[in-house]
Structure 1
Amino acid sequence: MGTNRLIYFRTDGNSQIASGHLVRCFSVALSCLQLGLKVCFLISDEDSNDLLTRILGSHPAPSVLNDCENNFSIMRLKTAAFDHPDQELPEVLSLLTSNTTSAVYFLDSYYVTESYLQALRPLIKIAYLDDLKLFDYPVDLLINYDIIPDTAMPAYRAAYQNAGKLFLGTAYTPLRSQFQDKKACIRKQVSHLFITTGASDPYHFCLKFIDKIIDSSFILHILIGKFNTDKETLYRLARELPYLILHENVSDMASLMQTCDLAVSAAGTTLYELCALGIPTISFTIADNQLSSAQAFEEIGLIPCAGDMRSNPEAVLQSAADFVTSMSYNAKDKLADAASLSPSYTKRVSVHTRMCHLIDGKGAYRIALALKSL
């Protein structure tokens, strides 16, 4: 144990499974480096290597990585395939057997099997980052940062009886370092809106929402994902509409979000990031894997969901527009005198406080501390 400990991160990111696994593992890895631990990423393909390299290059504090250069490495497994982990077992077992350093194996893969974990466990401490609850994982540390109501916690604990230690709930959300120790400022007047659909916008939400929000007192900040097919049309509109600002390839997303007063976002990891900053938000869904996060945030009364763009786009757009209106102004605001706080401002402050209480941005550090002492 201690600062000489080596943490293996076994994960991947490519066009088929996207970047989320690598991004959240990198957040934990960075905290590990800051604690003096050594880090080695085990990956299966060139896509994962390229993506990890881009994550490294875009990190807003490269000096941290430079200082830890001797403690960070990447190794491509010759026999690995991201969706068939058992075929890499002989190579991984050989690596772990030859290593004499105290180590932990941090695994983040939806394809993991019980036989894979059982084979590793006699050789090394295992931590697993789970979203799916596919089986009772035989590991030493199990992390699941779902939003878990108190009434559901017993069921979660029952599902993970084979795990030695459980980290359950949003306190262990491994957000990027830029979202740690940062909070948005709640301004008395709403003027800047943050809008994102993720990597793509197959149902043209951004274009349709621009038509809904015709109040030019709002500045619309639209994040354009790399697979957004409406990109050219949006840029043409931006040349015509002075209140439309487009953003691409943003490295410091937290700073961009902090300039905004409200957010309209596709569900997913972005909701956790907006929550950490405390920016009042409404979500919507465009894919099945977004449904659970949208539902969870709505059930606790923190981030309402406008609905699914695939089934009822007009209702989603109207709900999102109504949210912006209700959080910006209501009839009682007109009655508030200059010395008092408007009801809409008070509402946003309340939401901000509850969001920041739910997710404080320190989940990656808490996980790193556990890996150090495991």
Structure 2
Amino acid sequence: MVYIRTDANNLVATGHIMRCITIAKKIKTFNEEVVFIVKDDDTVKMIGGKFKYYCLPSHEITDIYNEIPFIREIVANDKNAKILLDLYIFDAIYMSLIKSFSKVITFDDIFKEFFPVDMIINYNPHYYIYDYQTRYHNWAGKLLLGESYVPLREMFENACSDENEKVKNIMIICGGGDSNHILHKIEKRICEDELYQNYTFHIIAGFLNSDYDKLVEIAKDKRINIYRNVYDMAAILKKMDIVISAAGTVLFECCKMQVPTIFFCVADNQKDVVKGFGAKDVMIYAGDIRDDEQQIINNIFENIEFLAHNYEIRKKMRKLMGNMIDGKGAERIANAIVTL
């Protein structure tokens, strides 16, 4: 059996739980049962009855190590337990304690320390900046590195956006919680510049976005559409000519759909993304929103106009995107976990 320990809340991007659900679905196609281990009610809502889950007693857990006895009890009767960990808070000590009673798989796109686990996954295009081979030279585990392991949902496997010479539709998205309220600030700028006169904007508010009502109110009587709890993202991206996004999972979806994209950073773990998507001219990097928020927003809108008036540049970006991701990464990860 495969257990997945993850969470989603206002502090943790929803990308963690989304990719875990995607991988879990593929694991089930290999006739392996999947059980989620979570600590937040919001995570339970996102699982939505799709999988069996255990909810840890958060009132009894003061730090990450306190939860380990509860996890040990959950998997106690499973001699072949495999646990996929997907939160940045889990460190090497935590992983070594989990490994004492289970096989352990984890994502690692920060390369901060040696992880004593059985499998490490980093599907970012900039994985090559980290020297995995030296760090894990005498290690008996398995490395899954590069874009071949991007865990996209099934809807993206054979999907691609429509190519239009004229830019009409622009999507804007910023993770599940958007704790910096970036969507609200960008929407206000759209209205101040009356850009909704030239383009139709599609703003995707995440499941945990606290500004949803404000976004809807500002959008009234304008060519601004607000979405929440979007499931069929491929259907929306198919119609988009440009996307503005934080540097999260959506970048991989945009890449697979071949939608010219402008991205920005909102967290430390996103800083190196520019060395992958940005450095290869696959996408345009607007900057880290935490460094100079107003300037980054200015950069976003300058680049919207740049792309809107440069069809040849957009065509080049689409071609580069089309060569990067095939949409079968989740299946490859699932197969590697099941056969571990």
- Note the alpha carbon deviations across 1:213-266, whole angstroms, 9 max, x for none: 63734222222345354843x44443332x322222322222112111111222
Answer yes or no: is 1:356 the counterpart of 2:322: yes
Give the Cα–Cα distance (whole angstroms) in 1 for the partners of residues 167 and 271 of structure 2.
28
Give the Cα–Cα distance (whole angstroms) in 1 for the partners of residues 164 and 307 of structure 2.
12
Seen in structure 2, the aligned counterparts of structure 1 residues 83 and 135 have a Cα distance that, compared at 3 Å, is farther
1:270-349 matches, within 5 Å, as 270-294=250-274, 296-330=276-310, 344=311, 346-349=312-315
Cα distance, 1:135 vs structure 2: 1.8
Answer yes or no: is 1:216 the counterpart of 2:168: no
Look up the equivalent residue of 1:73 and give its one-letter code. K
Alignment: residue pair count: 334
Answer yes or no: is 1:107 the counterpart of 2:85: yes
Cα distance, 1:28 vs structure 2: 0.6
1:9 to 4, 13, 21: 4
Look up the equivalent residue of 2:53 and give its one-letter code. I
Cα distance, 1:45 vs structure 2: 4.3
Cα distance, 1:182 vs structure 2: 1.7
Cα distance, 1:294 vs structure 2: 4.2
Give the Cα–Cα distance (whole angstroms) in 1 for the partners of residues 252 and 60 of structure 2.
30
Seen in structure 2, the aligned counterparts of structure 1 residues 250 and 140 have a Cα distance that, compared at 3 Å, is same
Q: Is this contact kept in 1: 2:188–2:218, CA < 8 A?
A: no
Tell me the equivalent position of 1:49.
44
Give the Cα–Cα distance (whole angstroms) in 1 for the partners of residues 339 and 109 of structure 2.
24
Tell me the equivalent position of 1:90.
69
Tell me the equivalent position of 1:131.
109
Seen in structure 2, the aligned counterparts of structure 1 residues 163 and 108 have a Cα distance that, compared at 3 Å, is farther
Seen in structure 2, the aligned counterparts of structure 1 residues 293 and 213 have a Cα distance that, compared at 3 Å, is farther
- Note the alpha carbon deviations across 1:170-218, whole angstroms, 9 max, x for none: 2212233333332112123221111223333535122113434637342
CA RMSD of aligned residues (A): 2.9
TM-score (norm. length: structure 1): 0.78
1:33 to 16, 28, 44: 28
For structure 1, list consecutive stretches of 5 or more residues without a partner in the other structure. Answer: 1-5, 57-64, 66-71, 331-343
Q: Is this contact kept in 2: 1:8–1:39, CA < 8 A?
A: yes
The SS at the match of 1:98 is coil
Q: Is this contact kept in 2: 1:44–1:82, CA < 8 A?
A: no
Q: Is this contact kept in 1: 2:120–2:142, CA < 8 A?
A: yes
Tell me the equivalent position of 2:246.
266
Give the Cα–Cα distance (whole angstroms) in 1 for the partners of residues 143 and 83 of structure 2.
16
Tell me the equivalent position of 1:341.
none
1:158 to 126, 131, 134: 134
1:215-254 matches, within 5 Å, as 216-225=197-206, 226-229=208-211, 231-232=213-214, 234-241=215-222, 243-254=223-234
Q: Greater Rg, structure 1 or structure 2?
A: 1
Cα distance, 1:38 vs structure 2: 1.0
Tell me the equivalent position of 2:55.
76
1:184 to 150, 161, 176: 161
Cα distance, 1:9 vs structure 2: 1.2
Cα distance, 1:157 vs structure 2: 2.6
Q: Is this contact kept in 1: 2:196–2:224, CA < 8 A?
A: no
The SS at the match of 1:301 is coil
Tell me the equivalent position of 2:123.
145
Q: Which moved more, 1:41-50 or 1:263-272?
A: 41-50
Q: Is this contact kept in 1: 2:109–2:127, CA < 8 A?
A: no
The SS at the match of 1:221 is strand
TM-score (norm. length: structure 2): 0.85
- Note the alpha carbon deviations across 1:274-328, whole angstroms, 9 max, x for none: 1121100111234444433345421222111123444444543443333233323
Q: Is this contact kept in 2: 1:295–1:305, CA < 8 A?
A: no
The SS at the match of 2:167 is coil
Q: Is this contact kept in 2: 1:79–1:91, CA < 8 A?
A: no
Deviating beyond 6 angstroms after TM superposition, the runs of 4 or more aligned structure 1 residues are 79-83
- Note the alpha carbon deviations across 1:56-107, whole angstroms, 9 max, x for none: 5xxxxxxxx6xxxxxx42123458978733223334334444224x332222
Tell me the equivalent position of 1:121.
99
Seen in structure 2, the aligned counterparts of structure 1 residues 106 and 318 have a Cα distance that, compared at 3 Å, is closer
Look up the equivalent residue of 2:168 and give its one-letter code. S
Tell me the equivalent position of 2:181.
202
